Every structure is written in structure tokens, then in C-alpha cells.
Amino acid sequence: MTPDVPPSQLATDILAAASQLATLGQDDALDEFWPALSGALNVAFPHTSCTVLAYHRPSQTLLRLYSSRPDVHAAGGRKRVRDGTVWKRTVLDAGDILVGSTRDDIRALFPEYENLWAHGLESILNIPVRRDGVTIGSVNLMNREHAFDDADKALAMLFAQLAVAPLEKMSRDMDQVPMGEVQYV
């Protein structure tokens, strides 16, 4: 959480951000929704990178719908998910939040860790987006080491629920997106 903001002001800011997101999520303002989600999450979970991934279970692939840092993660990239990884078991299969606190955690989770480190992305908060008990995507926040150690996981899951409808709208035709050169997670 943001350390210099009084708790009552932080709660007010979070509720205002969530209200704005709920309104945008009901509209077809998807181009506005993702930056607003990143901004709202930044109130509660300061971050330097936010990505949103849609999960296509039949093909075991992820499609990056949004990136606040296109210089690091371009939107539109599609990756195949490897079975047996901690990330897949935790976020996609179990629907649990995964916190990676250190550079070593990032190295263990992501093959592109050196590129992430080069951009100061040394910790991660992976938040599953779930509908009817099934993970349909994830919201991923990155920052310096230990940035998410004290993250309020219940609040993170609440924000993820606000992303269900927009994520579903944007990923309807996911199986039509060409695979190109497939990367693995």
C-alpha cells in the first residue's frame, strides 16, 4: 500500500477508482479501461508495469491484451503455457495470487528475466482473473524488489473481478489471433 497516504484517504481513493472501473467495464470503452485499471491498482499497489493476459485454456496460450510498458511487453503477444510451472499451477490452475519478491524469484518464474531486470522489474504480483471458478486471465504488476510483500490479496482479487467483463469482451476471438513465433511461459 502507499505508505504516505492516510488510511481513510487511501480507502476513499480506492473506492473512487473501483467505481470508475465498474462504469468503464460496463461500457465498450475498453481502450480506456485497461489504463484506468493500471491507475487504480497503482493507488493500492504501486507498480512500474502492468500487463493483462487472457488465458485460452484449449490451446494453453496467453494473449497479452494490455501493457503499460510496451517497451518491455508489447500488447498482442501470444505465449504458450508450459505445464508444471509454478506460475501455471498457482495462477492459472489454482486461481491463487502469486507474489515473486526478488530478482531470484523473477529468474525462477520467467525465461526473459534479464530483460525484466534491465527495466527495474524485480518483483511481481500475479492476480488471477476468474469467472465461475475458472481462471480466464491474469493481471500482472511489476516493480522493484519486495514491492508486493505486504500486498492485500483480497483487495487485489476484488480489482481482478472488475476486469472479468472487459477481459471476456477482448478475448472472444482469441483463437483467431495468429500464434506467430510462440514464446513459452
Quickly list DSSP for 109-144.
H-TTHHHHHHTT--EEEEEEEEETTEEEEEEEEEES
Q: Supply the pLDDT for residue 178.
A: 54
Q: Give Cα 23 to chain centroid, integer Å.
A: 20
Residue pLDDT, tens place only, 57-72 = 988 999 999 999 999 9
Model confidence at 185: pLDDT above 50 = no
Domains and CATH numbers, the chain: 47-184 (3.30.450.40)
Comparing 20-34, 67-81, 125-139, 157-171, the range with the smallest average pLDDT is 20-34
Amino acid letter, residue 80: R
Model confidence at 17: pLDDT above 90 = no
Q: Report which of residues 117 and 169 the model is more confident about.
A: 117
Residue pLDDT, tens place only, 20-31 = 665 654 556 677
User: Could you tell me the pTM of the whole model?
Assistant: 0.84
Q: Supply the pLDDT for residue 129.
A: 98
Q: Report which of residues 3 and 81 the model is more confident about.
A: 81
Q: Give Cα 19 to chain centroid, integer Å.
A: 19
C-alpha cell at 96: 491463487
Q: Residue 63 pairs with which residues in a beta bridge? A: 54, 78
Percent of the chain whose predicted confidence (pLDDT) is above 70: 77
How far, in Å, CA of 38 to CA of 51, rounded?
Answer: 8
Grid cell 472501473 — which residue? 21
Nearest to 171 by CA among 63, 39, 68: 63
CB atoms within 10 A of CB 98: 21
Q: Supply the pLDDT for residue 181.
A: 45
Per-residue pLDDT band for 184 (boundaries 50, 70, 90) equals very low
Per-residue pLDDT band for 123 (boundaries 50, 70, 90) equals very high
Residue pLDDT, tens place only, 128-149 = 999 999 999 999 999 999 999 9
**Secondary element (H or E) of residue 54:** strand 49-56
Angle at the Cα of 55 from the Cα atoms of 103 and 152, rounded to 5 degrees: 50
